[in-house]
Amino acid sequence: MGSSRKHWRRFDPVSVHRRQRGSGIDYPFRMITISAEVQAALASRRPVVALESTIISHGLPRPRNLEAAQEFEQILRDVGVTPATIAVLDGVPQVGLSAEGIRRVAEEPMAKASVRDLPILAALQSSAATTVAATAYLANRAGIRVFATGGLGGVHRGASSSFDESADILMLSETPITVVSAGVKSVLDIEATLERLETLSIPVIGFGTDVFPRFWIRESNCRLDWSVQSAEDVARVMRVRDVLGLRQGIVLANPVPAEQAWDIDEHDRILGQALQLAEEQGITGKAVTPYLLLEIVKLSGGTSLEVNLNLARNNVRVAGEIAKAWAALG
Binding site for ligand PSU (CB under 6 A): 52, 54-55, 58-59, 131-132, 149-151, 153, 166-168, 286, 289, 293, 308, 312
- Quick note: the x/- pattern for Mn ion over 202-241, rule CB under 5 A, is ----------------------------------------
We find the least distance from the C-beta atom of residue 59 to ligand PSU, in angstroms, to be 2
Give yes or no for a contact between 95 and 41, defined as CB atoms under 8 angstroms apart: no
Query: Which residue's Cβ lies closest to ligand PSU?
Result: 150
DSSP assignment of 216-242 equals TBS--SPBPS-EESSHHHHHHHHHHHH
Name which of residues 41 to 70 contact Mn ion (CB under 5 A).
none
Cβ partners under 8 Å of residue 182, min gap 6:
150, 151, 213, 215, 216, 253, 254, 255, 256, 311, 312, 314, 315
Report the amino acid identity of residue 152: L
- Helix extents (H) in the chain: 2-10, 13-22, 27-30, 36-43, 54, 64-78, 99-107, 118-124, 132-142, 159-162, 167-172, 190-199, 231-244, 264-281, 288-299, 303-329
Q: How far is the CB of 116 from ligand PSU (least distance, A)?
A: 12
What x-and-dash track marks residues 116-155 binding Mn ion by CB under 5 A? ----------------------------------------
Side-chain half-sphere CA neighbours of 97 within 13 A: 30
- The residue (of 164 and 189) whose beta carbon lies closer to Mn ion is 164
- Residue 58 contact, options ligand PSU, Mn ion, none, Cβ 5-8 Å cut-off depending on partner type: ligand PSU
Binding of residue 164 to Mn ion (CB under 5 A): yes
Cβ distance to ligand PSU smaller for residue 185 or 324: 185
From the list ligand PSU, Mn ion, none, partner contacted by residue 125 (C-beta under 5 to 8 A by kind): none
Are β-strands 48-51 and 146-148 bridged in parallel, bridged antiparallel, or unpaired?
parallel
Residue 189 in contact with Mn ion, rule: CB under 5 A? no
Pairing outcome for strands 92-95 and 82-89: antiparallel
Decide whether 52 or 164 has the Cβ nearer to Mn ion.
164
At residue 41, what is the residue type?
Answer: A
Q: How far is the CB of 200 from Mn ion (least distance, A)?
A: 16
Q: Active site includes 52?
A: yes
Interaction between residue 168 and Mn ion (CB under 5 A)? no
Catalytic one among 73, 112, 185, 286?
185
Between the CA of residue 149 and those of 50, 152, 301, 329, what are the distances in Å? 9, 7, 23, 24
- Residue 136 or 235: the one with the smaller Cβ distance to ligand PSU is 136
User: In angstroms, rounded to a whole number, what is the distance separating the alpha carbons of residues 308 and 312?
Assistant: 6
- Residue 55, binding choice from ligand PSU, Mn ion, none, Cβ under 5 to 8 Å by partner class: ligand PSU
Q: Give the active site residues.
A: 52, 185
Q: Which residues bind Mn ion (CB under 5 A)?
A: 164
